[in-house]
């Protein structure tokens, strides 16, 4: 009798707690790198008729601390975009890549044939292996690269690590101690290496033509999101659906938030954290070192940016 009651209770729970049409995509909530997030339909749920899980037709390849989460959340407004909720790290982590394309596809959201599946993993841009691996999957895939001022990106990178270490009760160092070693700029510091955009871009251009890589200006996206999103729509051949009313400026947070489907949402509180004030001499050293790399990058992509 007890087992019969338990079975009935489970049936009721499956029927009322999770209707079959429920599917949640692009909420920004994750279950950890490479793990299914809110976009995953559980074993007791039936995906919407006509949908399937497909490998992405577009990937946001980076850059770390360049605005990848903001770009994905804003792009997810579009009704013809199905956004993966997690950073999959398939093409940059060997242990995940070894699991194969079926494993990768299973982490994608269910989508209709007219929709574009998009995933984002910031680590792809600086990975030596990601370009070749993505090309092997789909040589005609459309890539989205969002970049910001590389010196500001370094500071933002440090800030994220700083707060993560604080939260995990680990020792922290002042940013100047990370940027300078023995009186000289510490060019081996990982945050600086990630900001050498020309070095990483040269690797991507060995596998993809520039026409397949759309660069989003991350600094502009934060100040005025709509024009950048409209460029992305055109690049992905999406009908124009994102409009100015989809965004509103949150005075408390100091950046734009999203309004869509009658809901308002802002990025996680970890976004937009205040940056430390960096010693002026050290900051000038950093900018001076990055300047040549920036100009090399401008020549590569046939476009310039307002980076100091």
Question: What pLDDT is attached to residue 43?
Answer: 45
The Cα 144–Cα 302 span in angstroms is 16
The Cα 122–Cα 88 span in angstroms is 10
From 1.20.210.10, 3.30.365.10, 3.50.50.60, 3.40.50.300, which CATH number describes the 52-301 domain?
A: 3.40.50.300
> How many other CB atoms are there within 10 angstroms of residue 262's CB atom?
5
Is 272 labelled a binding residue?
A: yes
Which three-class secondary structure state does DSSP give residue 24? coil
Is 62 labelled a binding residue?
A: no
For residue 291, what are the CA distances in angstroms to 215, 282, 301? 19, 14, 16
Is 112 labelled a binding residue?
A: no
Question: What pLDDT is attached to residue 25?
Answer: 33
The Cα 253–Cα 265 span in angstroms is 12
Q: Where are the domains of the chain?
A: 52-301
Is residue 27 within 8 Å of 54, Cβ to Cβ? Answer: no
**Residue 111, phi then psi, degrees to nearest 5:** -145, 160
The Cα 280–Cα 150 span in angstroms is 16
147 strand-pairing partners: 217
Is 170 labelled a binding residue?
A: no
Question: What pLDDT is attached to residue 209?
Answer: 98
Question: What pLDDT is attached to residue 269?
Answer: 62
Radius of gyration of the chain (CA): 21
Which residues form the catalytic set?
65
User: Running along the chain, 308 residues long, what does each successive block of 10 average in pLDDT?
Assistant: 40 33 33 39 72 98 96 97 96 98 97 98 98 98 98 97 94 97 96 98 98 97 96 98 95 88 80 85 98 98 94
Question: What pLDDT is attached to residue 267?
Answer: 80
Is 273 labelled a binding residue?
A: yes
pTM, two decimals, is 0.84
**Residue 114, phi then psi, degrees to nearest 5:** -85, -5
Is 287 labelled a binding residue?
A: no
Reported in sequence order, the residue ranges of the chain that DSSP labels E, i.e. its strands, are 52-53, 58-62, 81-83, 110-111, 116-120, 142-147, 180-181, 184-185, 213-217, 247-250, 255-260, 263-265
């Amino acid at each position: 009798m007890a087992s019969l009651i338990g079975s009935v209770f489970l049936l009721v729970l499956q029927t009322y707690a999770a209707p079959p049409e429920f599917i949640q995509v692009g909420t920004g909530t994750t279950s950890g790198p490479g793990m299914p997030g809110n976009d995953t339909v559980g074993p007791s749920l039936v995906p919407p008729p006509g949908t399937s899980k497909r490998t992405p037709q577009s990937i946001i390849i980076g850059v770390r601390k360049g605005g990848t989460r903001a770009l994905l959340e804003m792009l997810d407004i579009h009704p013809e975009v199905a956004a993966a909720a997690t950073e999959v790290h398939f093409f940059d982590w060997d242990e995940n890549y070894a699991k194969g394309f079926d494993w990768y596809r299973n982490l994608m959201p269910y989508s209709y044939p007219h929709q574009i599946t998009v995933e984002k993993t910031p680590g792809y841009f600086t990975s030596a292996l990601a370009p070749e691996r993505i090309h092997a999957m789909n040589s005609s895939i459309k890539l989205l690269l969002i970049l910001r001022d590389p010196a500001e990106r370094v500071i933002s990178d440090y800030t994220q690590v700083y707060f993560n270490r604080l939260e995990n009760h680990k020792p922290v160092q002042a940013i100047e101690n990370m940027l300078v070693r023995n009186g000289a700029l510490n060019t081996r510091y990982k945050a600086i290496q990630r900001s050498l955009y020309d070095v990483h871009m040269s690797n991507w251009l060995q596998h993809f033509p520039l026409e397949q890589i759309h660069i989003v200006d991350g600094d502009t996206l934060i100040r005025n999101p709509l024009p950048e999103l409209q460029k992305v729509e055109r690049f992905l051949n999406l009908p124009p659906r994102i409009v100015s009313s989809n965004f509103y400026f949150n005075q408390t947070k100091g950046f734009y938030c999203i309004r869509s489907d009658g809901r308002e949402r802002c990025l996680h509180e970890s976004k937009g954290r205040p940056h430390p004030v960096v010693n002026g001499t050290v900051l000038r050293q950093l900018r001076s070192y990055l300047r040549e790399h920036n100009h090399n990058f401008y020549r590569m992509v046939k476009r310039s940016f307002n980076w100091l």
